[in-house]
Amino acid sequence: MSSGEIRAADRSEGGQTFLEEIFRPLQRAEQRRWARTYLRGLLHVTGRKTPRRMAQAEALPPAAARGLHQFINASPWDWEPVRRRIALRVAASTTPYAWTVAELIIPKRGEHSVGVHRRLDPDTGLTVNCQRAVGLFLAAGSHCFPVDWSLVLDETWGRNRQHSLRARAPEAETARPVGDHVFDLASGVAAQPPLPNVPWVLALTRCDDANGVLAGLARQRLDIVCEVEPGQVVFSGDRFPTVITVGELMEGRYARQQQAITRQAADGATIGIPINTYAGTVRLSRRSIGRDEVRYRILQRPANGGRLPARYWITSLTDWPVEGIMALVRSRAAVRTAVAELQEHFGVLDFEGRSFPGWHHHMTMASAAYAFRHLPDRPSLAPLAPAPAATAEAAS
């Protein structure tokens, strides 16, 4: 939907419904007014999405820029209920087929913004000063909708409590592995029965705590399709389980079954992709066998003539066809597209502030804007700018 299409849709009644539904948890009418204005700014402003540029684009009075800044950085509204409503709206308006997560690296100057630290960016090989976030996405159709966020703090923030207090980070927010953040996001979904019970599709090849993530998802009894390293340890056999890696397991010629799935190439041609599956099932722990023990299949896409290494997946979907499982895997491409779009068009890199609540407020608004743009029923948003007499304090 182009900017012109959005503005044309703004004149219809659907936007009022969207506003009332998504931002109903905001207790004050002024907060809801600022939320609408901020959302319009994320959708309409090109380039950096800052409060000042939003106010200028909407031809608002000078105090509006400060009001938008206050709404994000100082207003005490709770972002979690808003995010739940975004997820429920996406689930109600689409046919979700998977949950997935993605890591987001947000480059920053200076060291005062919450969560900023120096780390190696695995995509570029460069050390960057950045915030590191984990986003939860609900895959539906050709889109992955962002519905929740977690900010990863490193050890420096855990050691310097005064630093965290200045950023208004809760005491419970300390340095912990990315896997813990993934598990917390999954637990949050499992605790909300109205949300879709669809498989979790994850890439754990860069996760330092893949075993912890897999164990946590198993405790939640969540269906998974997880890409893992060839060194991922599993347990094969029943009476006398053998400790073995998935790479070693799939080297056994008679232990695997060869299949092929078809895909449409960019030029329209149909191509076949070989997929090997382990003939039996495996477990992730050495616990005694019981009827409720979670069993997993192993899938392998063989190495491609030395150009591409072999890839491995663990899945609890033991009765699914291989084609269906690999269709879920393709949601990982959709989430990469969504992350790129969030960076380019929805301002997730443009937060101006230093506080933990401010960052979460901004990311929540970016998620709402993405849902607005891509939901199939195309909600619309009528203009509702703050009155000229509105002050910045009204956003609090």
pLDDT per position as a tens digit, 318-367? 999 999 999 999 999 999 999 999 999 999 999 988 899 999 999 999 99
Q: Where are the beta strands (DSSP E) in 329-385?
A: none
Question: Which pLDDT does position 174 carry in this prediction?
Answer: 83
**Residue bearing the bigger pLDDT, 364 or 382:** 364
How would you label 268-302 residue by residue, b for 16+ Cβ within 10 Å and e otherwise?
A: eeeeeeebbbbeebbbbeeeeeeeeebebbbbbbb
**Residue bearing the bigger pLDDT, 292 or 163:** 163
Question: Which pLDDT does position 8 carry in this prediction?
Answer: 39
Vertex 197 angle, CA 103 and 97, to 5°: 65
Which sequence spans correspond to the domains of the chain?
3-223+317-390
pLDDT exceeds 60 at position 395 = no
Percent of the chain with pLDDT over 70: 87
* CA neighbor of 203 nearest in space, from 106, 274, 131, 100: 100
Distance CA 273, CA 311 (A): 12
Burial of 125 (0-12, 13-18, 19+ CB in 10 A): exposed
270-282 per-position pLDDT tens digit: 888 899 999 889 9
**Residue bearing the bigger pLDDT, 347 or 292:** 347
In three-state secondary structure terms, 285 is coil
How would you label 184-212 residue by residue, b for 16+ Cβ within 10 Å and e otherwise?
A: ebbebbeeeeebbebbbbbbbeebebbbb
